[in-house]
């Protein structure tokens, strides 16, 4: 039994094979490839076998044991026989242009929800400030034009808005907290018996949210009338 096969099993990403293992001081760098030799053209839907280009880049994944794992992913470019244009394959485990796997983002989101930002930063060997600055930059980039999607109740979103919400959440592992705080805010309006009680709860909510997103809270304050009017 080869080591690569063992690590492929440990990695446990369906359809993904470890081709090379670099055991560096900081992390295990695993060069991976997908089993599938073909990809579907996003324009016309036709399956292409024509490899156009290999494009490798680094993606953070969940640790294996106590070792940090970075995947050296090949997002291949294929050429469509029908459209005659190249396209990048879409991978199940990592979003386009994302620096972390879906499951890594999911794990971080869970950590954020269940602990505080300092612990998350510590567990992920980032300083709280770096994490905040990075995530904030991403957050505000992805928030552009997403105000409505984030404020509207998830159950009332159209298919297109749902997709946008997914994109926004993918853009930042911390967006989950933003969204769950919003859901909480919505809950306050649903459950409060009178405006006075609701207002006090909202002040509490804003104080809590402020520790995560100072700018977002200012935005929410600005959007306040819209939030109040929603439902
Ligand atoms: Zn095509």
Residues with CB under 5 A from ligand 1 (ion): 41, 43-44, 46, 80, 82-83
Taking the centre of ligand 1 as the mean of its atom positions, its distance from the CA of residue 206, in whole angstroms, is: 48
The three state secondary structure string of 134-168 is: HHHHHHHHHHCCCHHHHHCCHHHCCHHHHHHHHHH
pLDDT at res. 76: 95
Per-residue pLDDT reduced to its tens digit, 47-94: 999 999 999 989 889 998 888 899 999 999 999 999 999 999 999 999
Q: How many CB atoms lie within 10 A of CB 199?
A: 13
Taking the centre of ligand 1 as the mean of its atom positions, its distance from the CA of residue 98, in whole angstroms, is: 24
Contact 153, 186 (CB under 8 A): yes
Q: Span 188-216, mean pLDDT?
A: 54
Strands 56-64 and 67-74: antiparallel
pLDDT at res. 225: 41
Q: Span 87-113, mean pLDDT?
A: 81
Taking the centre of ligand 1 as the mean of its atom positions, its distance from the CA of residue 87, in whole angstroms, is: 8
Q: What percent of the chain has pLDDT over 90?
A: 32
CA-nearest of 106, 124, 80 to 174 is: 106
Per-residue pLDDT reduced to its tens digit, 137-168: 555 555 555 545 555 566 677 787 777 667 66
**pLDDT band at 100, cuts 50/70/90?**
confident
**What tokens were used for 24?**
């560096």
CA-nearest of 159, 132, 151 to 215 is: 132
Taking the centre of ligand 1 as the mean of its atom positions, its distance from the CA of residue 35, in whole angstroms, is: 21
Neighbour-count burial for 160-197, b at 16+ CB within 10 Å, e otherwise = ebeebbeebbbbbbbbbbbbebbeebbebbeeeeeeee
pTM of the model: 0.52
pLDDT at res. 163: 74
Taking the centre of ligand 1 as the mean of its atom positions, its distance from the CA of residue 54, in whole angstroms, is: 19
What is the helix (H) or strand (E) element at residue 179, kind and residue range? helix 175-191
Taking the centre of ligand 1 as the mean of its atom positions, its distance from the CA of residue 228, in whole angstroms, is: 47
Quickly tell me which residue has 């292409």 as its tokens. 48
Taking the centre of ligand 1 as the mean of its atom positions, its distance from the CA of residue 75, in whole angstroms, is: 17
């Amino acid at each position: 039994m080869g080591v690569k096969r063992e690590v492929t099993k440990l990695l446990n990403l369906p359809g993904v094979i470890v081709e090379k293992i670099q055991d560096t001081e900081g992390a295990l760098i695993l060069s991976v490839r997908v089993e599938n030799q073909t990809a579907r053209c996003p324009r016309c839907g036709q399956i292409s076998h024509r490899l156009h280009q290999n494009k490798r880049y680094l993606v953070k994944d969940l640790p294996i044991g106590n070792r940090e794992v970075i995947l050296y992913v090949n997002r291949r470019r294929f050429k469509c026989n029908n459209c005659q244009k190249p396209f990048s394959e879409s991978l199940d485990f990592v979003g386009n242009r994302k620096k972390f796997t879906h499951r890594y983002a999911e794990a971080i989101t869970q950590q954020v929800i269940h602990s505080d930002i300092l612990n998350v930063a510590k567990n992920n060997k980032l300083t709280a400030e770096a994490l905040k600055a990075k995530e904030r930059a991403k957050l505000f980039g992805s928030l552009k034009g997403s105000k409505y999607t984030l404020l509207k109740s998830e159950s009332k979103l159209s298919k297109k808005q749902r997709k946008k919400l997914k994109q926004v959440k993918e853009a930042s592992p911390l967006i989950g907290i933003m969204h769950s705080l919003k859901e909480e805010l919505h809950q306050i309006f649903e459950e409060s018996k009178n405006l006075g009680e609701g207002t006090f709860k909202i002040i509490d909510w804003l104080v809590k949210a402020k520790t995560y997103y100072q700018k977002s809270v200012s935005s929410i304050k600005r959007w306040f009338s819209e939030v109040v009017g929603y439902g």
